[in-house]
Amino acid sequence: MNDLWPQLEPLLAKVQKPARYIGLEEGSIRPEHGPGKVSWLLIYPDTYEVGLPNQGLQILYEILNERADAVAERTYAPWVDLEALLRARGLPLFSVDTHRPAGQFDLLAFNLSAELVYTNVLNCIDLAGVPVRVADRRPEHPLVIAGGHCTYNPEPLADFLDAVVLGDGEEVVGEITELVGEWKASGRTEGSREQLLRELSKVPGVYVPSMYEVSYAGRELVAVTPRYPDVPERVEKRTIADLADWPYPKRQLVPLTEVVHDRLNVEVFRGCTRGCRFCQAGMITRPVRERPAAQVRRMIADGLRRTGYDEVALTSLSTADYSGIEDLVRDVIDDAPGGQPVSVSLPSLRVDAFTVGVASEIQRSKRTGLTFAPEAGTWRLRQVINKLIREEDLYAAVESAYSQGWRRVKLYFLTGLPTETDVDTLGIAELARNVVRIGRTYSKQASATVSVGGFVPKPFTPFQWFGQNTVAELQRKIGLLRDATRRDRGVQLKWHDPKASLIEGLASRGDRRLGPVIEEVWRKGGTFQEWSERFNHDLWVETMAAHGLDIDWYVHRHRDEHEVLPWEHLSAGLHRDFLWQDWRDALAEQGLPDCRWTPCYDCGACTGYSIEHIVASAVPPAGGSQGTWQDLDSGGEVPVTLLSGRASGVGGR
């Protein structure tokens, strides 16, 4: 029984948004399975609406299906209504492409983009009919693996994942396919699973948690060491050298029902060297690899024609930094098929690179939403976090936007950053007020939406040693901002739930001892934790206590230089010394320029892997203050409170 569709049909008549489960998207593939083919089920452990647009999953879907020795299908976490019906009828998780039972695939491959989906990962494994724990799996069970940004600290999921991929997946999925193919051909005999895992652990970029022993001294982590001599002591990430070699997705999926980011998405570069110290994505995806402009144009023109979309997003971690962005936006609009209006959105904009030129090019067709991310309210704190944009840059950018007809801009900030004082927090309100004031000179309706997120320190960033702010402290800061903006009619304040930030922080820097906690929260029904209506803070707190684990110790504690971190045996290419020095520079309020346009400071990401930045322009975008050696030397003294000892409670000084 390979097609569950007849049994699913009556269930889909009873659930919300059944179109999530039918497949049939333009670009979807119904592959031919066979004994000589390794079958991958690519799983995004959140709803279809959130998961479908994921570019990483779509890239691997195409690359695997192009191989003669592999097939790949997709699935997403079924919403709770369908899950209940599936469980009541004893039906398993299924692929959306051919409605094949998940347990019949050779690999279940998860995309881990956010910590709060971890319980959904367990739920999907269980719904597939596979034991959730690695130790309980047998040769007949699929291999359970994961990739994505959260895999840079996979330790909280170590009990549940057979293998984890660090870094770019384009090449390594082929190497995994070959090893799994041999395993399949050998008949998956008793004991072969352990042998396969051992072989996988030798593939660069692949981490097999069960091949490592963790030792503790009391609460402290002492070491994570390989169990066997042929297992590497440190697992390095994978990096593709040149994005131009990987023009994927070639056939972006066009969903039949509404999803987030429902538009053509074309990745214009990968990696970022702006060096924002809070930003894990920028640290772990180095170096910068730009896609050639001609290829971007071709992918967009083909994509619009093929999909029928009238909107394209140029995606990257900081799209305005793309060499020749103005020309590219103009070309894209000029190329539009049949002269139909096409809107261009630049999802990650740095204010210092957003000029009137870019603004006027974008607004030639439909105006898309504009989001700027100053991240912190004062220049001092922006030096700490190395988001080196001046107030003048922000004001110039919003002036560009309002003068070109925009009525509303979104501003994104973090609170709970290292060394943050109430002056910095209130600086957010001040910036927002000034932004609206500028807008009002162009339109009476001008407004700004201010989104504030609680800062969660992430592995492989200079802030990995920082003790996260408590829920109470984050709530206090949000309260300050609410009071400060209450009377500003043009400023709308939104914030992320500090309690959710707490649990994200727990998973972000947790170790293997969190595995049983995640399992128990899942068993008690704690799925879809990233959905505010399903998030259950108390369940996490109670479960931590029941397992004798201290949330304060995991989340709110500053780490010192010599502490062994749970991800010490993994590598994103960044030298530990570089990160520590950058942390000290942060506390000294010392900025660090972008190495795309200034000499190398040897973070390790290029030199370690013998690769380089690929950028078309050797000069930084106009209008910016970063990379131009402006006033970056006005650092102060390192506040010792953050560096020594075990400061308890809130961060800041």
Residue 22 or 240 with smaller CB distance to other proteins = 22
| 3-state SS string for 185-249 | HCCCCCCHHHHHHHHHCCCCCEECHHHEEEEEECCEEEEEEECCCCCCCCEECECCCCHHHCCCC
Checking DSSP bridges between strand 206-207 and strand 163-165, what pairing results, if any?
antiparallel
For the bound state, the minimum distance from the C-beta of residue 212 to other proteins, rounded and expressed in Å, comes to 44
- Is the Cα dihedral 88, 93, 97, 103 positive or negative? negative
Least distance CB 303 / other proteins (angstroms): 11
| CA 206/CA 86 separation, integer angstroms | 33
CB of 355 to other proteins, least distance (A): 24
Strand 343-345 versus strand 311-315 pairing type: parallel
Which residues face 213 on adjacent strands? 225
C-alpha 456/C-alpha 467 separation (Å) is 9
Nearer to other proteins, 146 or 264 (CB): 264
In the bound complex, what is the minimum distance in angstroms from residue 219's beta carbon to other proteins?
51
CA distance 229 to 247: 39
- The strand pairing partners of 108, in sequence order, are 41, 144
Residue 234 or 305 having the CB closest to other proteins: 305
CA nearest neighbour of 344 among 356, 326, 318: 326
Minimum CB separation of residue 638 from other proteins in Å reads 53
Nearer to other proteins, 34 or 339 (CB): 339
Peptide bond into 566 cis (omega under 30): no
Interface residues with other proteins (CB under 8 A) are 5, 9-10, 12-14, 17-19, 21-26, 30, 254, 256-258, 305-310, 337-338, 340-341, 366
- Shortest separation between residue 263's beta carbon and other proteins, angstroms: 11
| Both structure tokens of 252 | 């972006």
Of the pair 30, 524, the CB lying nearest other proteins is at: 30
Q: How would you label 156-189 residue by residue, b for 16+ Cβ within 10 Å and e otherwise?
A: bbbbbbbbbbbbbbbbbbebbbbbbbebbeeebe
| Least Cβ distance, residue 405 to other proteins (angstroms) | 10
Minimum CB separation from other proteins for residue 491, in Å? 25
DSSP 463: G
- Of 257 and 451, the one with the shorter C-beta distance to other proteins is 257
